[in-house]
A = this chain, B = another copy of it.
Amino acid sequence: MELKLPYLLKNTNICYYDEQNLYIGNRKIFPFEKSFVACRTSEEIANAIKNMTTQGGGPLQVALTSMCYLAAQMCNNNLEYDFDILNNNMQNIIKSRPTNTTMKRVIEELLLKLHVPMSKSSPEQFRNYVIENVKEIENEENLIYHNMGILGSSLINDGDTILTTCFAEHTLILSLYYAMKEGKKINVLANETRPYFQVARLTAPSMREMGIPVKIISDSMGAHFMRSGEINHYMSASDLVCMDGTVVNKVGTLANAISANYYGIPYTAFSMSPDTTKNNKTEIEMENRDGRELLSVFNHPISEEGIDALYPSFDIIDSELVTNIVTNKGIFSPSKIQENFK
């Protein structure tokens, strides 16, 4: 079983740039079309992220590539390095996804690192230094993905059927990959994830590319298959993990976590980096999206004109519902996050 990451997880399919534009892989229309949205400014990049052109780990990768793109633009236009301009542009991008704070932290650390040594550099030096640092972060991330995949695979038993929600990307996909590599037979049930059908459009095709057996169910069916004994483990990504072990993830995760708890099925969340700045759930900034996003599917209305909908994007999953949090430092129960990260 040779490791070949699926189309969607290759960095250049998430985002790339040329002299004119930054191009963001359009996850809103994948797998029906493999196309990119071209952006020129940080405002356009931020809007594309807000509009869900990319999601999950995509915004972080877009932000990293944006720094390279913006540095290259400054260089092309022969502009001196100006921290304030770069910082303002990156702040535009960071603000586009308030609940997932990983992008904010990684980018702000990088800006801080660049600030002093770059203050007197030439445009070329600056561009090269940014590219070098981003490459370093990407390499580190790659090691973390594989490490977390190996940790995650240790939680999966031969014969397990795993339920998952939304698009948990590298960490879950690599966990399943390593489990299968060890000879474990596994199946995945994946709940479609309205309103954007991320499971159906992103997760299931990516798993199929990796040879992972996957079937789609609706968002309403997780509990059904837990009751029938057909699900052994619920696994999801997390957009945020607080120091008290609270997990934030795509809306729908909470209902599955409660059902898993009711039937004694473990719930495991993956977290690249628990947020040391968030002590507990009171400090979470929750993203509420426009309810109208629910009200049409592929441009077809689902209801009568004038009836409203609500769309809270994320669930807060209280720590008592979480069995394991897989991090780069190891697998922890929620109560052990604080002592291992703060």
A residues in contact (CB < 8 Å) with B? 31-32, 165, 189, 191-195, 197, 200-201, 204-205, 208, 214-225, 227, 251-252, 254-256, 258-259, 261-262, 291, 294-295, 297-298, 300-304, 306-312, 315-316, 318
Contacts and interface: CB of A to CB of B under 8 A. Distances in A.
Contact of A217 (B192, B294, B300, B301): B294
A298 B295 contact: no
Listed residue (A192, A214, A217, A308) with the most chain B CB atoms within 10 angstroms of its CB: A192
Nearest to A308: B215
The 5 closest A-B pairs by CB, nearest first: A220-B252, A223-B255, A200-B303, A298-B300, A219-B220
Contacts of A221: 251-252, 255, 310, 312
Contacts of A222: 255
B218 A194 contact: yes
A303 to B, nearest CB: 4
27 contacts: A31-B303, A192-B194, A194-B218, A194-B219, A197-B302, A204-B303, A205-B303, A205-B307, A216-B294, A216-B295, A216-B308, A216-B310, A217-B294, A218-B219, A218-B311, A219-B219, A219-B252, A221-B310, A223-B258, A227-B316, A254-B259, A255-B256, A255-B258, A255-B259, A258-B259, A298-B300, A300-B300
Given A215-B310, A220-B194, A254-B223, A32 B301 contact: yes
Contacts of A300: 297-298, 300
B208 A307 contact: yes
B218 A252 contact: yes
A252 B220 CA distance: 4
Contacts of A304: 31, 204-205, 208
A254 B194 CA distance: 18
Contacts of A214: 307
Contacts of A192: 194, 294, 302
